[in-house]
């Protein structure tokens, strides 16, 4: 018999969901059969698949150990710039060149791995007890895009971040260096579809295309290029890169979307506003050295 204690990060969800997330090797058919036959109990009593788990509940499991295994966690790099945080949320800085999430099996250095390692070393998250919760970025940036990313430190924070993003309550601004002269603000209301590794853009609706909306404001000229502020109103695949190329102003150096070669493209997620907070990218990254792993300060 294996007994698991429900933590605050695992609470608030159904038994079915908890078992699916914390024991990926457990087949659904076996899970349902075990619950019916009292091979899985909650607080030593008959369980229901849809019952909500509470903190300090215990789950008793009378099944072979091999079906109870969770995805192993291997601590890696904790080289992570924390720009803002409270008890449940934090905003971190993703450097250009770092994946937001791993793209192959096994251990890999990516933003999510660094988030988990940092919270593990600070004692905020424990993969052995918080079995169904894995901290991760609430939204993604492309590998070569740098900038601010909202993250849930706790399960409650992750749910709140997801809710705010789903309801359009997270305001995102980017700075992009684009080719050519943009002299006045523009409202782009386009339609985008992902096809393989590129985004296709249209001016009018079509089957398979989603609305891709953003406002573009010129900030300054830099030689033959223009630095613009992009207020992203929807979050589509390669939206800024593909949309700017569609109107004849690809990001400088973005050869994938028609930019001239010779330099890496420059795209930065510079502002995140949510729940009364407005977090700005630091002017000097030395202002956001990795935080003390023993503390969880409120950096409002």
CA distance 82 to 261: 33
Three-class DSSP category at 221:
strand
Alpha helical stretches, state H, 96-255: 111-121, 155-166, 239-246
Tell me which of 66, 88, 128, 142 is the catalytic residue. Answer: 142
Does the annotation count 57 as an active-site position? no
Nearest to 148 by CA among 111, 120, 113, 118: 111
- Beta-bridge mates of residue 230: 174, 216
CA distances from 124 to 117, 217, 259, 296 (A): 10, 40, 44, 9
Q: Which residues contact 234 (CB under 8 A, 6 or more apart)?
A: 210, 211, 212, 213, 214
What are the backbone dihedrals phi and psi of residue 122, each rounded to the nearest 5 degrees, phi first? -85, -5
How does DSSP classify residue 14? Answer: B
Q: How many residues does the chain have?
A: 300
User: Are residues 238 and 250 in contact, defined by beta-carbon separation less than 8 angstroms?
Assistant: no
User: Are residues 130 and 63 in contact, defined by beta-carbon separation less than 8 angstroms?
Assistant: no
The enclosing H or E element of 276 equals none
The token pair at 247 is 């109107």
CA distance 160 to 226: 36
Catalytic residues: 142
């Amino acid at each position: 018999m294996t007994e698991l204690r429900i933590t605050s990060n695992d609470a608030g969800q159904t038994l079915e969901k908890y078992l699916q997330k914390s024991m990926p090797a457990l087949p659904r058919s076996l899970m349902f059969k075990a619950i019916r036959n009292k091979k899985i109990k909650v607080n030593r009593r008959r369980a229901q698949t849809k019952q909500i788990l509470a903190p300090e509940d215990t789950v008793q499991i009378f099944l072979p150990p091999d079906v109870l295994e969770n995805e192993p966690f291997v601590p890696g790099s904790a080289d992570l710039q924390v720009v803002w945080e409270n008890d449940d949320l934090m905003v971190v800085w993703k450097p250009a060149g770092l994946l937001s999430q791993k793209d192959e099996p096994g251990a890999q250095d990516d933003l999510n791995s660094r988030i988990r390692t940092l919270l593990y070393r600070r004692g905020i998250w424990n993969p052995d007890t918080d079995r169904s919760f894995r901290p991760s970025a609430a939204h993604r940036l492309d590998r070569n895009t740098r900038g601010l990313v909202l993250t849930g430190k706790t399960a409650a924070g992750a749910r709140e971040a997801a809710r705010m993003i789903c309801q359009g309550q997270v305001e995102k601004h980017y700075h992009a260096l684009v080719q050519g002269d943009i002299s006045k603000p523009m409202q782009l209301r386009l339609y985008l579809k992902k096809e393989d590794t590129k985004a296709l853009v249209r001016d009018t609706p079509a089957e398979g295309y989603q609305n891709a909306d953003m406002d573009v404001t010129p900030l300054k000229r830099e030689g033959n290029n223009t630095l613009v502020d992009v207020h992203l109103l929807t979050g589509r695949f390669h939206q800024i890169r593909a949309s700017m190329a569609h109107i004849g102003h690809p990001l400088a150096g973005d050869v994938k979307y028609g930019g001239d070669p010779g330099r890496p493209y420059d795209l930065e997620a510079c502002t995140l506003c949510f729940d009364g907070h407005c977090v700005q990218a630091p002017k000097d990254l030395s202002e956001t050295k990795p935080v003390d792993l023993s503390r969880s300060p409120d950096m409002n």
